[in-house]
Amino acid sequence: MEENPSNEIKNSPNYYLPHHAIFKEYSSTTKIRVVFDASAKTSSSNSLNETLLVGPTIQRDIFSICLRSHQHAYLMTGDIEKMYRQIWVARKHIDFQRIVWRDSPNEQLKHFRLLTVTYGTAAAPFLATRVLKQLAADSSVTHPRASKILLEDFYVDDVITGSDTIDEIISLQTELVGLLKSAGINLRKWTTNCWPLLISLPDDQRELSPVDFEESNSIKVLGLQWCPSKDVFSYKVKFNPSNTCTKRHILSEASKIFDPLGFLAPVIVGVKILLQELWRKQIAWDEEVPDSLSQQWNSIRNELPIVESFAIPRIMLQKQRYWELHGFCDASLDAYAAVVYCRNVNSDKSTSVTLVAAKSKVAPLKVLSLPRLEFCGGLLLVRLVNKIKLSLQVPEVNVFCWTDSSSVLHWFWLAASPKKWSVFIGNRTSEILTSMPFKL
């Protein structure tokens, strides 16, 4: 930031950002962070964020990035150091990022202007990711592999990518660091299950030291716990103690369970059903929930720490082997779900099956028959399979979808003309048959 010249302090338009410190004890680098509130109202009853355009999403979604991390023999993760602070804001806009500051309560307040992209402004994520996209476009010829990683394997400032050989992953890491360094951006907090790469990195660039690696310590990767030495994903569940049980409290606690690929779908669906029941009963945010629902929540909450014992193998499929996707769907009157597995055929003709992803949804408030809910499960499965194929970039993989619902199979069997069905069945049948070839 720079101090405002005294003769420009009264220039308008301008905006002053309220700010305060937050403390993150679990962070390995920045324990104290500054939060700027660009949503604070001014005397005109408007805020900066209300007048800013947010910008579109231009990076891959977290589902796709997490899913692709399962197909590499060697994985590496890292993040950009103070990403937003590496990107300049146009000079004509810096007066909208003013703050007041003083080093001591005994000093007079001084006026400053923030010169870089500021966390807390609505446009910050787009501006930062747009810079990475432009860097990838400008370097597509000189750094083709690193450019592709910038486009496909970054989620804001985090990268999670990999390769199938030691030499290639070391080369990828070197090229990626060099490309970002050319733009004045530092990649750090590297973690990998590739031992030669780990020991070649400087101490200040590693998230896990070789000692931590040998002790099977885990790190947080896009919300998941990853243990590089064992190469497995796991979960951590931490709830805050509370004597009250309200809808706000339940939703806040449930939101702490981050599960992008749906590995905990059988667990999470119970929470979804409970939350839907709270809405159905029109319980206010801070109203005590009925004893029956409170007991149901406490039962779920007491059992959730069991998921910390789960260990999910990271490597899901290997490109050099033959593999298939098998999906299953089912439904009840409360919810419906879909799950996809990968079946690998090894060189010795033996097979192995691993979980790829799952998704669950609660039944709509409008009561539907069980056959129709089964049909919704079939549509959910087809959409999940197509999302997996798109994320893994393997359009020609063999896919098998399974259901035990004779009603759903009957609708497909007579689906030569979806127009003969009701709008509900016809639209869903048409989408399924259009997006996926169907054979009984």
Overall number of domains in the chain: 3
In this structure, are strands 110-113 and 98-101 parallel, antiparallel, or unpaired? Answer: antiparallel
Answer whether residue 97 shows pLDDT above 90: yes
Least confident of 22-36, 150-164, 353-367: 22-36
Please compute the mean of the pLDDT values over residues 364-385 and round it to a whole number: 92
Answer whether residue 209 shows pLDDT above 90: no
On whether the CB atoms of residues 324 and 397 are closer than 8 A, the answer is: yes
CA-to-CA dists, residue 153 to 51, 83, 267, 436, angstroms: 31, 16, 29, 27
Per-residue model confidence (pLDDT) at position 269: 94
* Residue range 32-54, pLDDT digits in tens: 888 899 999 988 889 999 999 99
Q: Considering 205, 234, 263, which residue would you say is the last residue of a domain? A: 234
Please compute the mean of the pLDDT values over residues 400-421 and round it to a whole number: 73
**3-state secondary structure labels for all residues of 203-247:** HHHECCCHHHHHCCCCEEECCEEEECCCCEEECCCCCCCCCCCEH
Instruction: Examine the domain organization and report whether 375 and 419 are in the same domain.
Output: yes
Domain that holds residue 336: 319-435
Q: Considering 234, 256, 285, which residue would you say is the last residue of a domain? A: 234
Q: Kindly report the average pLDDT of the chain as a whole number.
A: 89
Per-residue model confidence (pLDDT) at position 393: 83
Residue 314 lies in a domain: no
Per-residue model confidence (pLDDT) at position 380: 96
Please compute the mean of the pLDDT values over residues 267-292 and round it to a whole number: 92
Of the chain, the percentage scoring pLDDT greater than 70 comes to 95
Residue 338 lies in a domain: yes
Residue 240 lies in a domain: no
On whether the CB atoms of residues 393 and 400 are closer than 8 A, the answer is: no
Residue 241 lies in a domain: no
Instruction: Examine the domain organization and report whether 263 and 196 are in the same domain.
Output: no
Of the chain, the percentage scoring pLDDT greater than 90 comes to 63
* Residue range 308-334, pLDDT digits in tens: 888 888 988 766 678 899 999 999 999
Instruction: Examine the domain organization and report whether 64 and 13 are in the same domain.
Output: yes
Per-residue model confidence (pLDDT) at position 221: 85
Instruction: Examine the domain organization and report whether 223 and 263 are in the same domain.
Output: no
Instruction: Examine the domain organization and report whether 377 and 418 are in the same domain.
Output: yes
Residue 387 lies in a domain: yes
Instruction: Examine the domain organization and report whether 131 and 50 are in the same domain.
Output: yes
Domain harbouring 353, CATH code: 3.10.20.370
Give 28's pLDDT tier (boundaries 50, 70, 90).
low
Answer whether residue 420 shows pLDDT above 90: no
Please compute the mean of the pLDDT values over residues 359-380 and round it to a whole number: 93
Instruction: Examine the domain organization and report whether 10 and 139 are in the same domain.
Output: yes
* Residue range 1-14, pLDDT digits in tens: 999 999 999 888 99
Per-residue model confidence (pLDDT) at position 412: 65
Instruction: Examine the domain organization and report whether 291 and 219 are in the same domain.
Output: no
The per-residue b/e assignment along 310-335, b for 16 or more CB within 10 angstroms, e otherwise, is eebebbbbbeeeebbbbbbbbbeeeb
Residue 161 lies in a domain: yes
Q: Considering 234, 256, 271, which residue would you say is the last residue of a domain? A: 234
Give 397's pLDDT tier (boundaries 50, 70, 90).
confident
Instruction: Examine the domain organization and report whether 204 and 264 are in the same domain.
Output: no
Instruction: Examine the domain organization and report whether 47 and 150 are in the same domain.
Output: yes
Least confident of 34-38, 101-105, 114-118, 313-317: 313-317
Residue 380 lies in a domain: yes
Per-residue model confidence (pLDDT) at position 127: 94
Instruction: Examine the domain organization and report whether 14 and 50 are in the same domain.
Output: yes
Residue 66 lies in a domain: yes
Rounded CA-CA distance 369/331 in Å is 10
User: Between the ranges 25-34, 120-129, 427-436, where is the mean pLDDT highest?
Assistant: 120-129
Instruction: Examine the domain organization and report whether 166 and 282 are in the same domain.
Output: no
